[in-house]
Structure 1
């Protein structure tokens, strides 16, 4: 009897990569050839299109639209152990002898019909706050950016789940059979230049 994995040892790396590339191409081709099926949604969407900008590495939300008035009374004081708990420290904070709390330096005011808190740094955004959706309910135990970004995009810390764009494409369908419904543009960091 042949052992179950004996054939896997005879597969060359080149053949494996070629097969994987062909499978990915077939999946992409399948989504383009599927026709109008993807445009038909099980629920009629209210939105016509979505422009979703996720600009990783932007300014802190605590200075823009995540108002934390309680931080003002703790500003400059040591972070209480009850807040930090048993969470491990990051590489950025592991060498610090002190962990002082820092409140935002900027003023916040309520804007729009829902009374969204927006900082003085975003005067135009404050003017259109009633047309925006601010999500303040996301929470993660991840202390590094990459797992937190994956959680933000997919709802899970582990990669491999459908992203925000995939669900938007599923809900709205595609207007053009020749183009993908969702595109990701990746920027290169300053270290790659």
Structure 2
């Protein structure tokens, strides 16, 4: 995986300050991942890495376009991508993900590879329904600015919200006794 080496950052030799990195992502980058969502693209990622004694703070700024397949017509089209994400990597006894943007890495880690993080941020920025831009234009022309609101409420639920105080006599008397505790 020689191509993945391009996305490695040697953190062992870095001093405790802000560092800047630039990564170019093209079709060969997306071929490294077995996912069929993105067929290619041309993006640039600017990564700011701030190193301190106990953690690394990374800020990703990714801009460019990716090639997707339209869900309606199965035509390929270019989708613009503009992503800003932050990630914190703190030093600890083992490597593990603590949260979606918080990772723990071993204290003796020599280098980190940001390729998977870049790919994940790009994929997560894509719309759920991938439509060719011409279909989006048609949808805009067809809509008369009507907004449909769907609710999961049952028809009788709205009445119950307003009548909470009226139903006090239906409550078990033991609960009424608890209301007086203050």
Classify the TM-score, shorter chain.
Answer: under 0.3
Structure holding more helix per residue: 1
Structure holding more strand per residue: 2
Normalised by the length of structure 1, the TM-score is 0.19
Larger radius of gyration: 2
Structure with the larger RCO, 1 or 2 (CA within 8 Å, 6+ apart): 1
